Structure 1
Amino acid sequence: MEGFQNIALGFATALQPENLLLCLCGVLLGTFIGILPGVGPLITIAVLLPVTFGLPPEGAIIMLAGIYYGAQYGGSTTAILVNLPGEASSVVTMMDGHAMAKRGRAGAALAIAAIGSFIAGVIGTILIAVFSPALASVAMQFGPAEYFALMAFALCCTSALVQGSVLKGVVMAMLGALVGLIGTDINSGVSRLDFGFRELSNGIEFSALAIGLFGIAEMVRHLGDPEPKGQVTVKTGRILPTLEDLKVSIGPILRGTGLGTLIGILPGAGLSISSFAAYILEKKVAKDPSQFGKGAIQGVAAPEAANNAAAQTSFIPTLTLGIPGSATMALMLGALLIQGITPGPRIMQEQPTLFWGLIASMVIGNLLLLVLNLPLVRLWVKLLDVPYRWLCPAILTFGCVGIYSIGFAASDIYIAAAFGLAGYLFLKLDLELAPFILGFILAPMLEEHFRRAMLLSRGDLTVFVTHPLSATFLGLIVVLIGLIGVHKYRSYLADRAAAAEARG
């Protein structure tokens, strides 16, 4: 009975005219930026963070979530039509989707991508509603020690699961934590790490940091790239797929949904991994794997279902545990913090309207995307002709106005510019931004919960290992470090063996 009441509360919130309009704006904008190469939801959400400051918490997160999963729809359009993925997760869709388009079946590919995304999105949303209460059932057992251990585990996970060097991930997380601690210590009133600048006494404004790292840095990087040619060389043809297409696609859609759901829950896994994993799985189970890459409709259905399911379920650790699984989810976490809401196991008890309203809006948003996406395909294709250099001034102006409107401080714009330069250097050095942003967000909360635990235990450090939940999370950190060490040692032995074989 309580479950039905929660769902009813969610739909009552999501169907409010303002929230419904924000959901529609979010999914349309998400589709738009998903189509445009080089923009993406990360930059858009970073730029729009200041706008959410003046919105109710429910409306702000509903709009940002719509942008996030709407971009997964839009990314498939350019991947199929012009062999240019609007989103990184659409690279896999491009392999068979564009091959179908060249054979005159672009409409069927677009339709299957939309249908697969819709089914996966709805199933993923249902799973959020089913499993989130189970995670939140332990909320009453969480104290300062448990929260500290959980956040430390989240930081370690994100640092360890980055692509490339684990050491770089750890360094970026520590650097983000140092930046997060800039400002005045609320307990002692002592300024720290501000180097004598009064503008830093209240800490770094999250919107300035986000727009600098993700917006300005990405724009500078892409301005140096050759201008992509957005000329559509194929016709969309018939939009609706045949019954045979649906019959062949239903299995891959369901398998992709299941795989994407599991990967989406894992912190740091990302949507691209779910797409590649679903594609590889379909190739393994296919009767004729040789058709993949030549226009197999399964190669479109499975990856699109996987990345959309992962997009939905990635909200589970972000909302119920406060563990963002990606840089975009970290920005979502920042948007909630701007609203004065701290995600965690208690969010369903403390903010039921926001939590269940978001879940209901996902169902509505996915339905809106299915209804709107196919008729607007030809319109979206026209947007591919907009040069990226024309978008940059608008994005930059909008972002700076938004930053200034929060605190009416010109110094925040200078801070954004500084982080734009830092973000560009990070990208050039192939350093992951997700650990940095997570370190920035979690460091003040880590410090707060550590101090509370010390205060309640009267300085006894054993409080972190005598409490079962905190001890479990700290044990998982040790296990994670051990697994990384074993992996590195095996890689070292394999390299030595390969070198010896080459010399012999």
Structure 2
Amino acid sequence: MELLNNLALGFSTAFTLQNLLYAFLGCMIGTMIGVLPGLGPIATISMLLPATFVLPPTAALIMLAGIYYGAQYGGSTTSILVNIPGEASSVVTCIDGYQMARRGRAGPALATAALASFFAGTVATMAIAAFAPPLAELAFKFGAAEYFSLMVLGLVGAVALASGSLPKAVAMIVLGVLLGLIGTDVNSGVQRYTYDIQSLADGIGFVVIAMGVFGFAEVITNLEKKEAREVFTDQKLQIYPSKDDVKRAAGPTMRGTLLGSVLGLLPGGGASLASFGAYTLEKKISKNKHEFGKGAVEGVAAPESANNAAAQTNFIPLLTLGIPPNAVMALMVGAMTIHNIQPGPQVMTSNPELFWGLIASMWIGNAMLVILNLPLIGIWVRLLKVPYRFLYPAILTFCCIGVYTVNNNVFDVFMTAIFGFIGYVFIKLKCEPAPLLLGFILGPMMEENFRRALLLSRGDFSTFVTRPLSATLLVLALVLVLLVTLPAIKSRREEVFTEPT
């Protein structure tokens, strides 16, 4: 009964004309920045943060939240159409979504992504409303040691996900971790691996690497394949998914929603790890393993539902504990601070209209997003009929603009070009770049929590195995390592991960 009263309060707050307008504005902006390669929610929210000062607190947070989960919807568009992930969480969607587009099934891929995202967002919002207080207690049990162990498990999972040989997958993860360490050490203030290049003092941005190893490298690779440049123009393009597509996507969508809802609660997890984990799970249990990597609809539904569910439940540790699980949530903390709101458990009691109004707006926002995205599918699909001699320069131009606008730094554009060449070499060597990005994202956080755990334990390494939850996560990681190295599992894995020719 209390839940119904709280939801009634939330909907009465969210259904005001002003809040509906800002919810729609946030969803629309989020979709557009998700579609544009390089422009993610972090850069956009950072730019709009000062503008929220003149808005009421609830309206400001509703708009910023709409930008965040709206970008998860839009990010799948470029992943599917041109193999360029706008966000880290969209990396996995490239694997099968782009292959579906190459086979003339971009429409079903986009529709599946939109519907799976809508379902996941709706269910995850229900989870926030019903289970936010008890689920937040789980995060109380996570200290620095547990966060480190969770990220170790995530990186081991990336090895299981990667196609190709295990040594190559491990090498890509290690390279990603090393790239993430470039920049200024937050504890000592000493620059590491910058070689006196001041533009590297703040490290290498995710957008630079993602645009390089996926966007630029894909352009270079396709330009040397004449048949790839003609694949879209010589066939009839399908717009909407078939009944078989819907049936095959239903199970992965539900499993991805459940997994994403859980991982979204934990700092270091979130949308990126959720999408990787959901894809890995589906590849292991699907009856259509041979289709993964060649255009399996399950390979779109699972990661898209997982990353959107995680994007919603990311708000639980923020609103109930005041702990931002990722950079976007850290910006949300900044927005709350601007309005003199202290994030944490007291938000539910001192600002119930804001807390429940924000949750209700997520339902409304997800409905707005599916209404916005489904009619646009035909427009996005028709872009594939544009000759590649026009499309590729446009892709490179938008990539360069997106990379430049993040930091207004020309050096980042040159770095993207360098990573484009590196990504091309990876393709030739048959190295999967997705683990590199996960290592790049989790590496700095893993180092920070590793050092924090040792500081708290006064240099005692046993803290990672004496704490029950941390030890459990490390045991799971060890079990996963043993499983993927067993001869029977290894041969089956190589069969499943065979690259399409």
Residue 369 of structure 2 corresponds to residue 365 of structure 1: yes
- 2:368 maps to a residue whose letter is I
Offset from partner CA, 1:71-105 (integer Å, 9 cap, x none): 69989xxxxxxxxx99834757999x98xxxxxxx
Provide the C-alpha distance between the structure 2 equivalents of 1:348 and 1:355, rounded to a whole number of angstroms. 15
Distance 1:368 1:153, change over 3 A: same
More divergent stretch after superposition (134-143 vs 218-227): 134-143
Q: Offset of 1:480 from its aligned partner?
A: 1.0
The residue aligned with 1:140 is: 140
Query: 2:96–2:297: 8 Å Cα contact kept in structure 1?
Result: no
Q: Offset of 1:419 from its aligned partner?
A: 1.3
The residue aligned with 1:469 is: 469
Offset from partner CA, 1:325-344 (integer Å, 9 cap, x none): xxxxxxxx9873894879xx
Q: 24, 41, 44: which is aligned to 1:20?
A: 24
Offset from partner CA, 1:204-249 (integer Å, 9 cap, x none): 233322322222222222222222254476698xx999xxx98x99
Query: 1:217–1:421: 8 Å Cα contact kept in structure 2?
Result: yes
Q: 60, 63, 74: which is aligned to 1:67?
A: 74
Distance 1:116 1:430, change over 3 A: closer
Alignment size in residue pairs: 419
The residue aligned with 1:102 is: none
Query: 2:30–2:68: 8 Å Cα contact kept in structure 1?
Result: no
Distance 1:198 1:143, change over 3 A: same
Residue 124 of structure 2 corresponds to residue 128 of structure 1: yes
Q: Offset of 1:145 from its aligned partner?
A: 1.0
Provide the C-alpha distance between the structure 1 equivalents of 2:305 and 2:81, rounded to a whole number of angstroms. 16
Q: Offset of 1:386 from its aligned partner?
A: 0.6
The residue aligned with 2:482 is: 482
Query: 1:184–1:203: 8 Å Cα contact kept in structure 2?
Result: yes
Q: Offset of 1:47 from its aligned partner?
A: 5.2
The residue aligned with 1:203 is: 203
Residue 272 of structure 2 corresponds to residue 268 of structure 1: no
Q: Offset of 1:177 from its aligned partner?
A: 0.9
Q: Offset of 1:382 from its aligned partner?
A: 4.1
Provide the C-alpha distance between the structure 1 equivalents of 2:360 and 2:80, rounded to a whole number of angstroms. 23
Normalising by structure 2, we get a TM-score of 0.66
Provide the C-alpha distance between the structure 1 equivalents of 2:427 and 2:189, rounded to a whole number of angstroms. 36
What are the within-5 Å matches in structure 2 for residues 82-161 of structure 1?
A: 88-89=96-97, 120-131=116-127, 133=132, 136-161=136-161
Residue 401 of structure 2 corresponds to residue 401 of structure 1: yes
Query: 1:150–1:473: 8 Å Cα contact kept in structure 2?
Result: yes
Distance 1:427 1:18, change over 3 A: farther
Q: Offset of 1:138 from its aligned partner?
A: 0.4
Provide the C-alpha distance between the structure 1 equivalents of 2:22 and 2:171, rounded to a whole number of angstroms. 42
- 1:195 maps to a residue whose letter is Y
The residue aligned with 1:501 is: none
Distance 1:402 1:249, change over 3 A: closer
Provide the C-alpha distance between the structure 1 equivalents of 2:240 and 2:200, rounded to a whole number of angstroms. 56
Provide the C-alpha distance between the structure 2 equivalents of 1:410 and 1:249, rounded to a whole number of angstroms. 44
Q: Offset of 1:311 from its aligned partner?
A: 0.9
Gapped regions of structure 1 (runs ≥ 5): 31-40, 76-84, 99-108, 282-292, 294-302, 323-332, 496-504
- 2:409 maps to a residue whose letter is A
Gapped regions of structure 2 (runs ≥ 5): 50-63, 83-92, 264-273, 316-324, 335-342, 348-353, 496-501
Q: Offset of 1:195 from its aligned partner?
A: 2.4
Distance 1:473 1:392, change over 3 A: same
Distance 1:22 1:429, change over 3 A: farther
- 1:62 maps to a residue whose letter is Y
Identical aligned residues as a percent: 31
